[in-house]
Amino acid sequence: MSRKENAQHKLVSNAVAGMLSTVVYMLSRLLLTPVILSYLSLSEFGLWSLCFIILSYAGMGGFGVNSTYIRFAARYLAEGKEEEISKLLSTGVTYMLSFCVLFFVGLYFLMPFLMERFNVDPSQREVASTLILGTAIVFSIELTLGGFRFIVNGMHEFTREKTVTTVAGLIEIGAIVGFLALGAGVKGLLYAFAIRLVLETLGCWFIAKSLLPSLRVSLRLFSREHLRHFFGFGGKVQILGILGIFLTAVDRMFITAISGLAAGGLFEIGRKLPSTAGGISSSAFGPILSTSAHLEGEWKSGRWKSSQERAITYLHIVLITLFLALIPMAFLDQLRPWLPASSAITALVAAVSGGALMVLLARSFNTEKRLESAELKNIYLDAIRFTNILNSVLFVFLIVMAHPLIDVWVGTQYPGAAEVMIFLSIAYSVQLCTGPVTMLFRGIDRNGRELEYLLVQTLLMVLWIPSGTIVWGLTGAAAAIAASMFVSTLFLIWRSNKTFSIRMSEFLGHTVLPTLLPLLPALAIYAITRLWPQTGRIHLMIQILSCGTLFVLSSGGLLWRFVLSEAEKSRALEFLPLKKTSA
């Protein structure tokens, strides 16, 4: 089997491995939390959470670096330049070590400010300093040596890497329970965190060496050429990652600022289950980056835009988004004091201006190069199809069972949380199909597509979320999020389809129509909950489990019978232990 065929063959198994490891992680952490709280006070648990709030800022420094490892390791493997992988790794380790030293020194001198800023009680400041600086050291080592893990991903051994991290994570859980039982207190969490890091690093190192015996790290292998990869390609991914983090927090920022902390807490309750379901789907996207980098494809016809032309394109996208976003806002009475003219005039001007710019933008897109690669086109279509099918099962169930799920989970004293959950389930199910697309374009170093998409989504959210919150409260905010994600996703799909020369009818038939089939059993279980409503958590839980089993089995049967091709069925059967045993 050629390297190209091997990369494609491993894509599905790697995606499944990512999903399974995420499920194990989520379930284990969900069960671990009450155990930790039985040993620690709420303030001690809050200190541990504070450590990772601070470390999240350092973690942003690894966004572009990790993607650079994956992309260029895959490219060098495809081109037979294994010796360049050692140079890439050595350069990355040197670069991240320098970054982490600066981060730790800065954090050390900021400790008094952080103690005041986060209102840490004076009696807890010594423990807090130990935890924050200790986790910073461990996390810095993880950032510095994490290259082994992402080099393994770049060589398409995602399954083996996830096996290591899953086992290390389970050992960490055992260590946490052991240290807590021995009386180590909150510091036991730090010790267990360090143990997990050591196990992950050693495991990925051994895997990388077994795959590439010549792999080594040396200061003499540091290369300015490879450093440019980290600042060039990695820098672009870094910007996209920071923008993505902003988008994950902007909704709660606006809601809390407009409606208060209680509304923010209620929104968080409605967001939790859709967010968890989204984590399961998104965990399958990682292998697409290395696979697309390995294949890369060939660009034909049209021409590349100059830097000035790309800047004009981004400006047009921003202006079109602003104009079109104003149209529905113009008809909301509560927003009229902030609009420059009457609703009719504002909507008309916005529609005409946005339409004219859309014509100019569409013409410029028609002159761009097209990507001719049957392998990448199939990955693009199949990945979106797989994501949509999975989302149709996960999120449709959350939508039709929203009220019973909320009542069982947190009780009936949170009105409005179920409506938030419904709108966010719609929003996330739509947005998640962009995950494979952005990973694919990162892999072939065309990050501009993702930047365009994020610009559209950011502007829509900044305009629509506060508007929806002011007019309709939390439900309006959630609906605004859904609308923002739908419009931005539609834009990205339209752009990507043009890149691959895919007709919209072909796209809809392959990726969207199959996802409608689970609506049939969803209507059945919704009717059950309306005709035979239950009260009390035990009765509700039984109803949820019964309806969930019915829904999953019915949806799976319908998808197997009417949607999946013979090739997809054969591929799915490969993951069944019974199939492997009988073979």
Q: pLDDT, tens digit, for every residue of 424-474?
A: 999 999 999 999 999 999 888 888 889 999 999 999 999 999 999 999 999
Picking from 514, 474, 485, the residue whose alpha carbon sits closest to that of residue 425 is: 485
Greatest C-alpha distance within the chain = 73
Domain termination residue (choose one: 180, 208, 231): 231
| 9: confidence class by pLDDT, cuts 50, 70, 90 | low
Domain assignment of residue 364, yes or no: no
177-181, 291-295, 379-383, 480-484: least confidently modelled range: 291-295
What pLDDT, in 10s, does the model give residues 202-255? 999 999 999 899 999 998 999 888 888 888 877 777 778 777 777 877 888 888
Domain assignment of residue 493, yes or no: yes
Asked whether residue 397 carries a pLDDT value surpassing 90, the answer given is yes
- Give the residue numbers spanning the domain of 373: 235-301+369-582
- Rounded CA separation 118/130 (Å): 15
Domain termination residue (choose one: 172, 199, 231): 231
Please provide residue 250's backbone torsions phi and psi, each rounded to the nearest 5 degrees: -65, -35
- Rounded CA separation 323/340 (Å): 13
Same domain, 247 and 159: no
Same domain, 12 and 28: yes
Same domain, 297 and 217: no
DSSP code, position 305: P
CB of 385 closer than 8 Å to CB of 436: no
Same domain, 202 and 63: yes
| 146: confidence class by pLDDT, cuts 50, 70, 90 | confident
Beta-strand ranges (E) seen in 226-320 are: 298-300
- Rounded CA separation 368/347 (Å): 32
Give the residue-averaged pLDDT of 511-521. Answer: 93
Asked whether residue 3 carries a pLDDT value surpassing 80, the answer given is no
- Rounded CA separation 335/314 (Å): 27
Same domain, 107 and 147: yes
| 583: confidence class by pLDDT, cuts 50, 70, 90 | very low
Same domain, 222 and 242: no
Asked whether residue 34 carries a pLDDT value surpassing 50, the answer given is yes
For residue 500, give the 3-state DSSP assignment: coil
Could you count the other beta carbons within 10 Å of the beta carbon of residue 302?
Answer: 12
What pLDDT, in 10s, does the model give residues 150-207? 899 888 888 888 889 889 989 999 999 999 999 988 899 999 999 999 999 999 999 9
Exposure on the CB side of residue 294, measured as CA atoms within 13 A: 27
Could you count the other beta carbons within 10 Å of the beta carbon of residue 426?
Answer: 22
Same domain, 126 and 275: no
pLDDT for position 2: 52
For residue 502, give the 3-state DSSP assignment: coil
Domain assignment of residue 113, yes or no: yes
Q: When comparing pLDDT for 119 and 322, which is higher? A: 322
Q: What CA–CA distances, in Å, run from 248 to 120, 271, 365, 432, 483?
A: 26, 11, 29, 13, 15
pTM to 2 decimal places:
0.79
Asked whether residue 524 carries a pLDDT value surpassing 50, the answer given is yes
Assigned token pair, 309: 């032309």
Same domain, 210 and 286: no
The tally of domains found in the chain comes to 2
Phi-psi region of 373 (alpha: psi -120 to 50; beta: other; left: phi over 0): beta
Domain assignment of residue 324, yes or no: no
Domain assignment of residue 507, yes or no: yes
| 53: confidence class by pLDDT, cuts 50, 70, 90 | low
By the 10 Å C-beta count (0-12 exposed, 13-18 middle, 19+ buried), 353 is classed as middle
Could you count the other beta carbons within 10 Å of the beta carbon of residue 6?
Answer: 14
* 371 strand-pairing partners: 299
Cα radius of gyration rounded to whole Å, the chain: 25
Same domain, 566 and 439: yes
∠ CA 225-228-230, rounded to 5°: 120
* 333 strand-pairing partners: none
Domain assignment of residue 332, yes or no: no
Same domain, 389 and 508: yes
What pLDDT, in 10s, does the model give residues 328-351? 888 887 776 766 666 778 788 888
Phi-psi region of 300 (alpha: psi -120 to 50; beta: other; left: phi over 0): beta
Asked whether residue 7 carries a pLDDT value surpassing 60, the answer given is no
Domain assignment of residue 307, yes or no: no
Domain assignment of residue 452, yes or no: yes
pLDDT for position 579: 44
Q: When comparing pLDDT for 540 and 567, which is higher? A: 540
Same domain, 505 and 388: yes
Same domain, 227 and 243: no
Picking from 121, 140, 114, 142, the residue whose alpha carbon sits closest to that of residue 50 is: 114
- What would the 3-class secondary structure string for 206-229 be? HHHHHHCCCCCCCHHHCCHHHHHH
pLDDT for position 90: 94
Domain termination residue (choose one: 231, 250, 265): 231
